[in-house]
Amino acid sequence: MACRLISLLRFTLFATISAAPKIVAIYQPKFGCPTKCGELRDIPFPFGTSPECYLDSSFLITCNRTFSPPKPFLRKSTTIEVLNISLDGLMRVAVVVARNCYDESGARIKGKSKSPHLRLSKFPLSNIHNKFTAIGCATAAVIQGIGQQNFSTRKLYSTGCISQCGDLENVVDGSCSGIGCCQTSIPKGMRNSSFTVNPFGTNVPKFAPCSHAFVVEEKAFKFSSLDLKDLRGRMHVPVVLDYAVGEESCAEAQFNPRYACRAKNSECINSTNGPGYRCNCLAGFHGNPYLWDGCQDIDECETIKPCSGNCKNLPGTFRCYCSKGYVGDGKKDGTGCHPSNSLWIALGTSMSLLVLLIGSSWVYWMLLKRKLIRKREKFFEQNGGKILREKLSQQKGEVETTRIFTTEDLKKATNNYNKSTVIGRGGQGTVYKGLLPDNKEVAIKKSIISDEKQVEQFINEVVILSQINHDNVVKLLGCCLETPVPILVYEFITNGTLYDHISDERRGSALSWEMRLKIAAEAADAVAYLHSSTIKPIIHRDIKSTNILLDSNYTAKVADFGASRLIPLDKPHLSTRLEGTMGYIDPEYFQSNQLTEKSDVYSFGVVLAELLTGEEVTSTKRPVEDRNLAGYFVSWTNDDRLPRILDKRLSKDGKIEMLEKFAMLVKDCLSVKGEDRPTMKRVATELKSLSTIEKHPSKDTDASTGVSEGAHNQNVPSKTEKDAFVGSSGSSSTLGFESISDKQ
């Protein structure tokens, strides 16, 4: 009983294994198979150069490396050179031409005749792409071969044509109708074949001593009368072969373990020229259908661009569709896409809203622009624009007049007051570096405050300051009155302030004693000019080393009239609130608020002390009683200790006698009482004398004699000019004239 049970189990297991489906292996080439041989740049599978690389031996490509470059041949042939292989079942090869040549008597010339045999194995000649061709003037050509349409049926085929010509005049280039050239079709399935070419008759013309016969790719050959002599030296011609896999049809081959068309997205196609089949990628795919993953999707949306609307790529196909609001098939060769009725309604509504929005925006912009224009006109009138225009019109033709800038002019010059253009900030406002359309560099000062009650006085000062024509005073070029606070425009000075050069060790070393004398004399001359040579005396009220600028030639330029005051001609002083910089302020002015020209003399004396000592105006490094430079300087000069406080940088080039005379002048300027101080004109004269002596030491060295005050006459307007420039004689007003260089 047990033995029967065991036998039954064995039978059941055997039956199960027998009934299981067979696992079919798909043959694929090994990795790294060569795909090139000489000029044949692509050897696609199922072809290959070794057993691991081709499907079967009929697809062998022999790469003969005895040639340079190497040449590929079909299977083991040495005469059928492979030119090209395509994946649509076609192969181009080069085959030998059949030839017979004859002498004038009609006898065959030995060594010039050839009757080749084509042994193509399984790949037949393409009956669609090839023609059997004969060339000659007394030529009969025949092709014979074996044709096979299926595995079991083979037939012997024979066909040919005759070509003749009496003379060259009858030969037509490009025509193979029998005169000099004839052609005939190739039967289907023809594999192994041979060509023969023979003369008929003995009359062989001299211009066509040879007859030729060959199978050739139809589109690769065009007959010419020049071919009659020797086929223009051609020994081989291109021929197209149809290749297929095996001897079976698709229906039979799919059960074969080595069935070639099992790759994804491929299909099997029966051969139309002999037995066998070939593989092809499905529509919408491209690549090598003989490789497992060789057929890749074609992105029609990117390649053929078939859609007029939107395109979506799909595996093996694509889909055209229209955007929302449009209808149609979306195809270029179809109905395309056109707006639906609902879209027209939505579009009309949108356009109406857009027009309304644009119209409202335009109206708002126009109202805003008008408001801005009115605001600018208000500021212009409020800042005395009309008065300034009237006064400027009175001085046309006399000297260069002040220019009235618009806000757009100055915004453009400063790149809309960009932070990168800021060159100085102070109590009176911010200074920007600007560039005018004529490439002229200017300094543009935006004031922080404005006194609306002093508009007329402000305009008078603008007019008067614009007429200051002195080489050592920074020139006022113009102003802008379209802002709440007037903006002033000055010439731009490039080399920093006197303070920069005194306080900087490196820069200060460049200031010799002679240069310091020159700077002091020029600055004094400018201040003296303000006091006595302008239409109305101008007291600067904030003379200090940071308000004396230096150009590239170290020429002094007095700047920053933000705290300046005009002194009425009939008054020796002016009562005003205290303004200025600590350390430079006149102690008498500090006590009484009485501003006089001597207040500027005191401040200038402090600047001279800076030039002589190189010391800070106020310093915690000095003792408490000497923290103020003015007191420190006077104290040490009274005790004959001048050499001990001199700037060490002057010890090399400064004569002690000259330094002492300079120090005495400084001491006079720093007198506590204003009446004991010299006038600025006298200071300028003394400094000019010292400077002259320093330049020409051989001349009179008596610095005290100086130059008479009457000689100081540079750029003095005439009485007529003064009358033309004078407006009202009211009290002074503040003019915002900020330093045109970076502040410390």
Q: Using a pLDDT cut of 70, give the percent of the chain over it.
A: 80
What pLDDT score was predicted for residue 704? Answer: 39
- Higher per-residue confidence, 116 vs 608: 608
Query: H helices of 331-450, where?
Result: 341-382, 385-394, 407-413
352: which 2 tokens?
């109406």
pLDDT-derived band at 131, boundaries 50, 70, 90: very high
Q: Quick check: 713 pLDDT over 50?
A: no
Q: What percentage of residues in the chain have a pLDDT greater than 90?
A: 36
- The mean per-residue pLDDT over the stretch 44-71 comes to 92
pLDDT of residue 721: 31
If pLDDT is split at 50, 70 and 90, which confidence band does 430 have? Answer: confident
Q: Cα separation of 739 and 499, whole Å?
A: 12
What is the model's pLDDT at position 744? 31
Average pLDDT over residues 17-30: 50
pLDDT, residue 60, reads 94
Q: Which two tokens stand for residue 332?
A: 């270029």
Q: Which residues are catalytic?
A: 542
What confidence score (pLDDT) does residue 338 get?
84
The mean pLDDT value for 416-443 works out to 86
Name the band, by pLDDT with cuts 50, 70 and 90, for residue 205.
Answer: confident
Tell me the CB-side half-sphere exposure of residue 649, using CA atoms within 13 A: 22
**667, pLDDT greater than 90:** yes
Residue 199 pLDDT greater than 70, yes or no: yes
Q: How far apart are CA 162 and CA 199, in angstroms?
A: 9
Q: Is the pLDDT of residue 349 over 60?
A: yes
Mean pLDDT over 123-134 rounds to 94
SS3 418: coil
Contact 230, 176 (CB under 8 A): no
Structural domains of the chain ordered from first start: 90-242 (no CATH), 404-491 (3.30.200.20), 498-725 (1.10.510.10)
Q: What is the pLDDT of residue 161?
A: 94
Report the chain's mean pLDDT, rounded to a whole number. 80
467 burial type by CB count under 10 A (0-12 exposed, 13-18 middle, 19+ buried): buried
Contact in structure between 388 and 404 (CB atoms under 8 Å): yes
**What are 238-278's pLDDT values in tens digits?**
999 999 998 899 999 999 888 999 889 999 999 999 899 99
Could you tell me which residue, 713 or 574, shows the higher pLDDT? 574
Please give the average per-residue pLDDT across 2-23, as a whole number: 38
Tokens coding 194: 């041979």
Separation CA 171–CA 139 (nearest Å): 14
Mean pLDDT calculated for residue range 127-152: 84
Residue 391 gets which letter from DSSP? H
211, 201, 203, 209: which is closest to 181 by C-alpha? Answer: 211
Distance separating alpha carbons of residues 564 and 579, to the nearest angstrom: 9
State the pLDDT confidence band at 441, using cuts at 50, 70 and 90. very high
- Lookup: tokens for 696: 């020409």
How far is CA 31 from each of CA 257, 266, 287, 291, 329, rounded to the nearest angstrom?
21, 21, 18, 12, 46
Q: How many other C-beta atoms are found inside a 10 Å radius of the C-beta of residue 719?
A: 8
Q: In this structure, are residues 564 and 579 in contact, taking their beta carbons and an 8 Å threshold? A: no
| Per-residue pLDDT at 8 | 37
Closest to 145 in 3D by CA, of 134, 135, 160: 160
Please, which residues have CB within 8 angstroms of residue 258's CB and are 6 or more apart in sequence?
27, 55, 56
Give 16's pLDDT tier (boundaries 50, 70, 90): very low
SS3 at position 18: helix
Tell me the HSE value of 89 on the side-chain side, using a 13 A CA sphere.
24
Predicted confidence (pLDDT) at residue 229 exceeds the cutoff of 80: yes
Residue 742 vs residue 427, higher pLDDT = 427
Listed residue (56, 66, 183) closest to 123, CA to CA: 56
Is the pLDDT at 129 greater than 90? The verdict is yes
pLDDT given for residue 392 in this prediction: 64
How large is the average pLDDT for residues 332-340?
86
pTM of the full structure: 0.46
Whether 445 shows a pLDDT value over 70: the answer reads yes
- Displacement of CA 308 from its chain's centroid (Å): 34
Cα(490)–Cα(502) distance, rounded to whole angstroms? 24
Q: Identify which has the larger pLDDT, 425 or 322.
A: 322
- Where in 569-643 does DSSP place strands (E)? 574-575, 594-595
Q: How confident is the model at residue 626 (pLDDT cuts 50, 70, 90)?
A: confident
**Residues with Cβ within 8 Å of residue 52, at least 6 apart in sequence:** 29, 30, 33
State the pLDDT at residue 343: 63
pLDDT (mean) for 120-143: 90
CA-to-CA separations, 157 to 80, 146, 150, 310, in angstroms, rounded: 21, 6, 15, 56
pLDDT value at position 17? Answer: 32
What is the chain's length?
A: 744
Quote the pLDDT of residue 65. Answer: 93
User: For the residues 362-391, what does the mean pLDDT come to?
Assistant: 76
Coil, strand or helix at 436:
coil
Q: What is the mean pLDDT of residues 347-354?
A: 86
The three-class DSSP label of residue 502 is: helix
Between 725 and 304, where is the model more confident? 304
| Collapsed DSSP state (helix, strand, coil) of residue 708 | coil
pLDDT of 149 = 61
